[in-house]
Every structure is written in C-alpha cells, then in structure tokens.
Amino acid sequence: MKRSGFTLIELAVVMAVIVTLTSLVVSGFLGIARAMASQTAPRQIRKALEQARQQTLLEGRSIFFCTLDDNSYVLVRPVGQVSGLESGRVFYDYYAPLMKESGLTNRLYNLDKLKPGKKAYMNEIDDYIYSSRRVGWKISWSGDDLGLVVADRYGTAVSSEQFLPKGWTFTTSPGYIEFRPTQEPRFGEGLSGKFIFFKEELSGTVMSLTVDADGRVK
C-alpha cells in the first residue's frame, strides 16, 4: 500500500531548515538595525550643532550647544550677565539689551554652572530703578537653584531639551560649545579639544564629532 504524508525524520529536517533560515534572516535584520542605530546619535548631534551654527550666523550673536548630563542637551541663547542678587529668586542685569517681553516663561540656564536636572524659568522682567533713574533690568525667576552669583552668564533655551537615542550616552561631564559669529567656537566646562564623544552602551562603541575653527561639524 502506498504511504502518504511525512516521516518524523523528514519533518525534523524541514523544521531544522526553517529554524536555520529564520535565524539567518533575524541575524541579518538585527545587523542592519544596529548599523542604522549606530548612525542615529551622530546624525542627531550633528543636526543640533549645525542648527547652533546657523542660528549664530542668522542672529549675529553667540548660541551655546550645552550638554546637561550624560543623555540630554539643549541650545541656549545667552541673554546677559548677573550684576547683582536679591533674595527670593531675583537678580539684576545692568547691561543686557533686554525687552520686557523677551524671555518670559523661557527655560533659564546658568552658562557658567551647568547643573544636570535643574529646571528654572524667567517669570518677570522689569526696569530696575535706583535713585530715580533706570540702571538696568530686574529679573525674577522660579524653579531650582542654579547657583547664580555675580558675573555668571545666563541665557534662555532656543528650543526644548533633547535626548540622545536610547542606549547612547555622552562620555564627558556637562559642558558647552559657544558658536560665535566672527570667532572660532569656544569650548567650556566638560567639553574641550573640539570633540564631542558619545558611546553606544550595548557595544561599547565610542564615536565623536569634531567642530573646526569655522564652526563646521566633521
């Protein structure tokens, strides 16, 4: 009598072939995914640095690219420098070319002491009157202590804080790159040597971007 169907051995061989092919497809897919992911962080940071440079040239004044911790960063527009302090989240600036409406509700940053996780906001900007004459601006703010002291530079966010893709971290402490309209970029705090380093935690791969004397990203 003629036999129909498959034997147990034949089924086992077919299953082995299917498993092998599936593992090859999955392995290839993961390899492609890793290759794409390995370029995600560099591409994202390059875009932010190029935006900072373009904004500097457009506005004709400095824009700061700031790393806040091992995962977050933000572009900051410098506003002025602390000339005096008052208790209750108030400071004075005698020189900043502020308009009363500018900066309100904007995220506030101390550019000389970048503090991870600190959130503060400018609330109100008024004329500072002394001996019946205006001598500067009186600025009130709220939120976390930024460690502001006289002569500290402060600024407000150009846009919201951004984060590196999952699995990526900066390998340096908080710092900044100041893009300047007519001078080469200046590195401060935890960033130096014109390099930004970041690492993919899964593979341990360390990558870097370079900012040259003209502010171009390489």
Is the pLDDT confidence value at 120 over 80? yes
pLDDT at 12 over 90: no
pTM reported for the whole predicted model: 0.78
Mean per-residue pLDDT, 151-178: 89
What pLDDT does residue 19 have? 75
pLDDT at 35: 47
- Percent of the chain predicted with pLDDT > 70: 83
How confident is residue 5, by pLDDT bands cut at 50, 70 and 90? low
> Residue 33 — pLDDT band, cuts 50, 70, 90?
very low
**CB 108: neighbour CB atoms within 10 A?**
25
Which of 16-25, 63-72, 171-180 shows the lowest per-residue confidence on average (mean pLDDT)? 16-25
Q: Yes or no: say if 170 and 70 are a contact pair by the CB < 8 Å rule.
A: yes
Residue 21: how many CB atoms within 10 A of its CB? 10
Question: What is the DSSP secondary-structure string of 27-38?
Answer: HHHHHHHHHHHT
Q: Which amino acid is at 107?
A: R
Alpha helices in the chain (DSSP H): 8-37, 40-59
Is 207 a residue whose pLDDT tops 80?
Answer: yes
Distance, CA of 108 to CA of 120 (rounded, Å): 5
Which pLDDT does position 4 carry in this prediction? 56
- Is the predicted pLDDT of residue 151 greater than 90, yes or no? yes
Rounded mean pLDDT, 159-171:
88
